[in-house]
Structures are given as structure tokens and as C-alpha cells.
Amino acid sequence: MSVDLSILELVTGASVVVKAVMLILLLASIASWTIIVIKWRDIGRAQKCADEFEDKFWSGGDLEALYKEIKQRGDAHGMEAIFVSGFREYLRQLKQRSAYIGQIDMISRSMRVAMSREVDNLEGSLAFLATVGSTSPYIGLFGTVWGIMNSFRALGDAQMATLAAVAPGIAEALVATAIGLFAAIPAVIAYNRYSDDVERLITRYDNFVEEFITLLQRHSSAKAGGAS
């Protein structure tokens, strides 16, 4: 007697528990791929924005003109948002004629807060990828164990033990493991890649904050020296 072991037949003929496991893994895989695509777009845009902004910032142009240009555009994000936050605080301090030490401290704090917001946006949903990557194989393994257990229970009730009697149950159980790996592998690869990209962006943002603060310190020192 031939047994239909096609993937579709194995899935539709699986037990309720194994079907539930497969559904959970399928939904996790769809959610993971959605996040992978979104993060690929967001991180790529942040990298491109940082490249373009640094070219403009270090080109020797007027920083106030650059600030007004970004403000008028109204879509500052990434390194631009950090610069806008710092330069806005710088202009506010100039109007209030704040003390030198307090001025630099407030500007640095404002840029750090903006940087934290940008980093939070970049890191959002990465934890979900890590969770899917670490738990999906175990969820699939649970479905596998359950399917094999049912196969051996059915084998114990059968009068004649044959491979055809247990093959469908074992095959459907292994499909659960395969789906678990299918959900986990892309999630792990994407999480590692995007985590590395985000760390590199954090380093660039941090370096920019320090360089911008140093630039303002030199500017303030020059003004103080000129005034004296």
C-alpha cells in the first residue's frame, strides 16, 4: 500500500498540536521577514543619510545655513536629527548668553538625547528577530517530538508494525522541525548583520557628537579670545 508523503498532505494530515506548531512558526517567519525588509530599508537610509550629511557638514559651509535647510525640509533623521538638536540648543544658549561650561554641557546633553532616540528607532524589533532565531528550532522540535510520540502510540495499537504505519507521523514531525529552521536561520542572520550595522552607526553618531562639541568649544574659545 502506497502512502502519500507530499508536503501538502503531511501538513494537512498532521495532528492538531503539530498543525498549531506549524502555524506559529509560519506566522513567526512572516513577521521576521517583514521586520527584515523594514530594517534593511531603515538602516540603509540611516547609513546613506550619515554619509551625505557628513559630506555637507565637513565641506566648510555655513552651519547655520545647513541647520535652516534641514529644518525647512522637516524630515531630519539619523545624524541630521542629532545635529539639529545640538545646533538648536546652541542658538538658544547664544540668545540667553549662557556661561561657557553650561552652554557646552546643555548642547552635549541635547545631542545625546536625540542620539538615544535615533538608536532606539534603529534597534526596534531586533529583539524579536533574536527571539525567533533562538526559539523557533525548539518550537519545531516540540512539534517533532509530539508527532513521533503519536506515531509510536499508533504503532503500539496496530496489530502489525510496518514502516508505512509510522512513516506519515514521523514525516509530519520532521516537517515541523524544517519549518522551525526555516524561520530561525534568516532571523539569526539578519539579527547579527543588523546588530553590527547599528553598532557601527552608534559609533559614527558618538564620534560626530564629540567632534561637534569640540568644534563649538574651539569656536567659543576663539570668540572669548577675540573679546579679550
> Tell me, what's the pLDDT at 145?
85
Q: pLDDT digit string (tens) for 161-208?
A: 555 556 666 777 788 888 899 999 999 999 999 999 999 999 999 999
Q: pLDDT digit string (tens) for 23-82?
A: 999 999 999 999 999 999 999 999 999 999 999 888 877 888 888 888 888 788 889 999
Report how far apart the first and last C-alpha atoms of the chain are (Å, whole number). Answer: 101
Q: What cell numbers appear for 139 in the block?
A: 518550537
| Sign (positive or negative) of CA dihedral 106, 111, 114, 120 | negative
Q: pLDDT digit string (tens) for 112-150?
A: 999 999 999 999 889 999 999 999 999 988 888 887 877
Q: Which residues, 6 or more positions from 18, have their beta carbon under 8 angstroms from its beta carbon? A: 143, 146, 147, 172, 173, 176
Mean pLDDT of the chain: 82
Q: pLDDT digit string (tens) for 100-111?
A: 556 778 888 999
Q: Where are the domains of the chain?
A: 7-221
Q: Which residues, 6 or more positions from 89, have their beta carbon under 8 angstroms from its beta carbon? A: 106, 107, 110, 111
